[in-house]
């Protein structure tokens, strides 16, 4: 991205605003923005090489979607999670993601399986070297390679909105608990896709989400959700 005349040409300006929005959306989904940490429009603008206006526009859209809270120009954060809100997000994921995967199954061909295996291998490598950012990137890539395989999937877009609220929290959770004991539900999902088994794919995605819910339950009750992102 580069600064300049984004406001002088409506077409260029719209494209730039969309690009900034997509970048911030991706940062939220992959947990690169932590709950409770102030978000600087100036800092983001400098990182992306744009003016502050498209950043403010993007943050306004994200606030309307519940991903960030704007109290003033200098007080923009990802809201710290509550137990009730997190439970609602995870239950919504359990309802939507197995269905999205099932709808995508007819569109997941051999090339898609290769991409999924590569994403899962990158995830395992990131875990082995303690690369939390790499893990979050690969994990989200794996899931949305599945959900997004169905052309113009409305469910995939809705799920992305859930992940904007889920991602920042789960990055903090993964940093605090031992993930090495988890069953590789991604391998189960790949196997189900290879066998064209919709029930097995639904079960693997649901089990993967349940594993995440279990990790949240492993957080020290004395610190609770209030400590996430601190």
Question: What pLDDT does residue 155 have?
Answer: 96
Query: Which residues form the domain of 52?
Result: 10-77
Q: Is residue 1 part of a domain?
A: no
Give me the number of domains the chain comprises.
2
Dihedral angle of Cα 125, 128, 129, 133, to the nearest 10 degrees: 60
The answer on 122 and 209 residing in a single domain is yes
Distance of CA 180 to the CA centre of its chain: 21
**Which of 27, 55, 77 is a domain's end point?**
77
Question: What pLDDT does residue 230 have?
Answer: 38
Q: Confidence band (pLDDT; 50, 70, 90) for 27? A: very high
Say if residue 139's pLDDT is above 90.
yes
Neighbours of 133 (CB within 10 A): 12
Higher-pLDDT residue of 127 and 6 is 127
pTM for this entry: 0.84
Higher-pLDDT residue of 212 and 22 is 22
The answer on 202 and 96 residing in a single domain is yes
Say if residue 227's pLDDT is above 90.
no
Say if residue 22's pLDDT is above 90.
yes
**Which of 31, 50, 77 is a domain's end point?**
77
In our burial notation (b when 16+ CB lie closer than 10 A, e otherwise), range 70-80 reads eeeeeebbbbb
Q: Is residue 182 part of a domain?
A: yes
Say if residue 83's pLDDT is above 80.
no
Q: 141-185 pLDDT, tens per residue? A: 999 999 999 999 999 999 999 999 888 888 777 766 665 556 679
In degrees, to the nearest 5, what angle opens at C-alpha 179 toward C-alphas 27 and 162?
35
Q: Is residue 3 part of a domain?
A: no
CATH of the domain at 20: 1.10.10.10
Q: Is residue 5 part of a domain?
A: no
The answer on 32 and 144 residing in a single domain is no
Question: What pLDDT does residue 8 have?
Answer: 43
**Which candidate, 164, 199, 192, places its Cα nearest to that of 62?**
164
The answer on 190 and 125 residing in a single domain is yes
The answer on 125 and 99 residing in a single domain is yes
Q: 56-74 pLDDT, tens per residue? A: 999 999 999 989 999 877 7
The answer on 216 and 133 residing in a single domain is yes
Say if residue 126's pLDDT is above 50.
yes
Question: What pLDDT does residue 219 have?
Answer: 52
CATH of the domain at 106: 1.20.120.530
**Which of 46, 77, 108 is a domain's end point?**
77
In our burial notation (b when 16+ CB lie closer than 10 A, e otherwise), range 104-129 reads bbeebeeebeebbeebbebbeebbee
Higher-pLDDT residue of 83 and 41 is 41
């Amino acid at each position: 991205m580069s600064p300049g005349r984004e406001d002088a040409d409506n077409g260029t300006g719209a494209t730039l605003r969309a690009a900034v929005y997509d970048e911030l959306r991706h940062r939220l989904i992959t947990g690169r923005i932590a709950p409770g940490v102030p978000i600087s429009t100036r800092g983001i603008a400098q990182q992306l090489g744009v003016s502050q206006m498209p950043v403010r526009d993007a943050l306004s859209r994200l606030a309307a979607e519940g991903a960030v809270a704007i109290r003033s120009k200098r007080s923009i954060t990802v809201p710290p999670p509550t137990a009730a809100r997190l439970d609602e997000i995870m239950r919504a994921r359990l309802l939507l993601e197995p269905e999205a995967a099932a709808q995508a199954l007819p569109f997941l061909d051999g090339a898609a399986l290769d991409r999924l295996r590569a994403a899962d291998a990158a995830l395992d490598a990131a875990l082995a070297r303690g690369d939390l950012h790499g893990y979050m990137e690969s994990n989200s890539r794996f899931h949305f390679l599945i959900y997004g395989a169905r052309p113009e999937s409305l469910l995939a877009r809705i799920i992305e909105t859930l992940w904007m609220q889920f991602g920042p929290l789960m990055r903090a959770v993964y940093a605090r608990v031992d993930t090495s004991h988890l069953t590789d539900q991604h391998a189960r999902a790949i196997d189900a896709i290879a066998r064209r088994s919709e029930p097995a794919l639904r079960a693997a995605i649901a089990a993967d989400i349940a594993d995440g819910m279990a990790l949240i339950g492993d957080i020290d009750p004395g610190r609770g959700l209030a400590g996430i992102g601190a």
